[in-house]
Chains A and B, each alone.
Chain A
Amino acid sequence: MAVYDRRYRAYEGPLTPVSTRWRVLPRHAWTGVFKSRLFVGFFTLCFAWPIAAAVWIYLHYNLAALANVGLDNVQLAAVEAPFFAAFMGVQCFALGGVMTLLVGPGLVSPDLANGGLPLYLSRPLTRTGYTLGKLFTLAALISLITWIPGLILFLLQAWLAGWEWFVSHLWLGVAIVGGAIIWIVTISLLALATSALAKRKVIGQTFLLGVIIFGTVAGQAVNEMFGTRLGFLFNLPALMQSVWAALYRIDMPTMMSAPVALATLLAICGLSIGVLSRKLRAFEVVK
């Protein structure tokens, strides 16, 4: 048997806190995402509507500016809850949805398809840390185009309308941030779960789109066949609409009460976490 001297020295330098290690994952994922020209173009486009909304709010308090360009008798709609709900609806459901389809299904599937998980998990990084890192990658990108510009617009409106408006509309700020976060967490977890199930980005994208569309169609079919409203529990847009109607305190047609819708969304999140917990393992058993 060979006899060896112990001559090497292990790394003894400073270490970053364990709780922050997962941030390495989104940092590198974003580098990859922003290398796509298609994505950069889409991401830039996502700020067109917030800029337009900001101009709208500004003009609302500066009608003189409109007069300067020959628009004397223009009546701009009030900047209240319906205005913000409409703005956030476009940003969250349309643009946020497309962003989820572009980024979400490619986050986990390549690691699973190529057996890359042991590479990550043989570090001081838990499965929870890995999932959190991947979730944050998508959630932060959607946040940048949803509640962050929404909150900026809210603060712009408050600045122009005055302190009294701000204090009396604090609930609206909470609705903008809270409503968006409920959507972001739900859709991000759903995207990660479909990505983990599909193992291929394109299949994951189709699967995610299918879950949303099929859920809506299947829910409608259940309602028609059994003369019930339970089918709306499979309808993600209807669920979000019910929650948002309550948050934004606006009168719009809803299919169920906000607590029922919120509980269903929580169940979807729980189901997605269950799928991730089952699929994100560093090993695979071939039976």
Chain B
Amino acid sequence: MIVFDNISKFYGEVLGVNRITLSIGPGITSLVGPNGSGKTTLMNLVTGLLLPTRGRLSVLGIAPDRPELLMKKVGYCTQYDSFPPGLTGYEFVQATLALHGLTAADARTKAGQAIAKVGLQEAAGRRVAGYSKGMRQRIRLAQAIAHDPEVVVLDEPLNGLDPMARAETIALFQALAKEGRYVLLSSHILHEVDLLSDRVVLVHHGYVVAEGDIPGVRDEIHERPAQVLLRCDRPSLVASRIFELDSAVEIKIHEDGKGLLVHTRDAEKFYLLVNRLVLEHGLDLEAVSPADEDVQAVYRYLIEGEGPSS
């Protein structure tokens, strides 16, 4: 596990993160938050680039002030665009492996394998300076995974990728997670975070405001009524019965008369009611889906302080 135990990091008088207590397990964990919220600070702490001002951090049982042990287990893909001049993609990955201490022969093999994983074989012999933004992003990914780390830390890894490369990269993250690795990433693209994450950590002003799987986090936001979208043949019947429940807050019937959006303080009661209506009145139900059980809604509720647009 990656364990943050009451971690604080201050840059002089500037707050990086404060009193973070968090345990991250295998799978894909996304750090979500606005610019300057502390995501990169958390990543730099995990990779040992920063040491905490207070608290204790352990990455798979290793303290981050022991780079020789830590870096065997951790691979970091930064968001910055800097490469040693004159190197080809293949030489670049090989050089980073040499910094990890791999022998020349092993570095050659591993570099080839990593480049194949990110689908950059054809461009591997070309200079990185001539790469497109997406190719640079992929070669950075290759260097992060080339030494087979158990923890892969990726800062904005989907930036600059075209839709095809994006899909391939997400599939790569999922494959890494399926192997039991820890994939810790940050992203601003919330619908993609939704698609690929096992859990999210919402960070704001240096504090963790929520963490867990999205439905779990949403359930914990009691002050915001849950929104459920329902498509059926008799929405007015459903609406009239919902008002009998004391938990209903607002109901909007769609203009086409085939659906309604329900705001309720108790989603469980609402789902039971719908079941009853189907059994007792033969309600023809087309779809029932939560309208705000995604990262975007949770982000708005907790960070931006507004409700999602219906």
Within 8 A of A (CB), among B72-120: 72-74, 76, 78-87, 91, 95-96, 98-103, 106, 110
Contact residues in B for A126 (Cβ distance below 8 Å): 67
Within 8 A of A (CB), among B147-176: 147-150, 176
CB pair B106–A115 under 8 Å, yes or no, is no
CB distance from B193 to the nearest CB of A (A): 15
CB pair B78–A24 under 8 Å, yes or no, is no
A contacts, CB < 8 Å to B:
1-2, 4-11, 13-18, 21, 24, 27-29, 31-32, 35, 110-111, 113-116, 118-126, 282-283, 285-287
Q: In the complex, A21 Cα to B79 Cα: how many Å?
A: 24
Q: Which of A35, A118, A285 contacts B78 (CB 8 A)?
A: A118
- The segment from B42-50, B269-277, B279-287 that touches chain A is B42-50
Contact residues in A for B50 (Cβ distance below 8 Å): 282-283
Q: In the complex, A29 Cα to B91 Cα: how many Å?
A: 12
CB pair B27–A119 under 8 Å, yes or no, is no
Grouping DSSP codes into helix (H, G, I), strand (E, B) and loop, the A interface class, with mixed when no group exceeds half, is loop
CB pair A122–B74 under 8 Å, yes or no, is yes
Please indicate which of the listed interface residues B50, B101, B176 has the most CB atoms of chain A within 10 Å of its own CB: B101
Q: Which of A4, A13, A116, A286 contacts B82 (CB 8 A)?
A: A116
CB pair A282–B14 under 8 Å, yes or no, is no
20 A-B contact pairs sorted by A residue (CB < 8 Å): A1-B27, A4-B27, A7-B180, A8-B148, A8-B180, A11-B72, A13-B103, A17-B101, A28-B91, A32-B86, A110-B82, A113-B82, A114-B80, A115-B79, A118-B80, A119-B78, A124-B72, A124-B99, A283-B40, A285-B12
CB pair A118–B44 under 8 Å, yes or no, is yes
Contact residues in B for A9 (Cβ distance below 8 Å): 148
Q: In the complex, A125 Cα to B176 Cα: how many Å?
A: 25
Please indicate which of the listed interface residues B12, B41, B180, B213 has the most CB atoms of chain A within 10 Å of its own CB: B180
Q: Which of B12, B47, B81, B180 contacts A6 (CB 8 A)?
A: B180
CB pair A282–B44 under 8 Å, yes or no, is yes
Contact residues in B for A285 (Cβ distance below 8 Å): 11-12, 14
Contact residues in B for A4 (Cβ distance below 8 Å): 26-27, 177-180
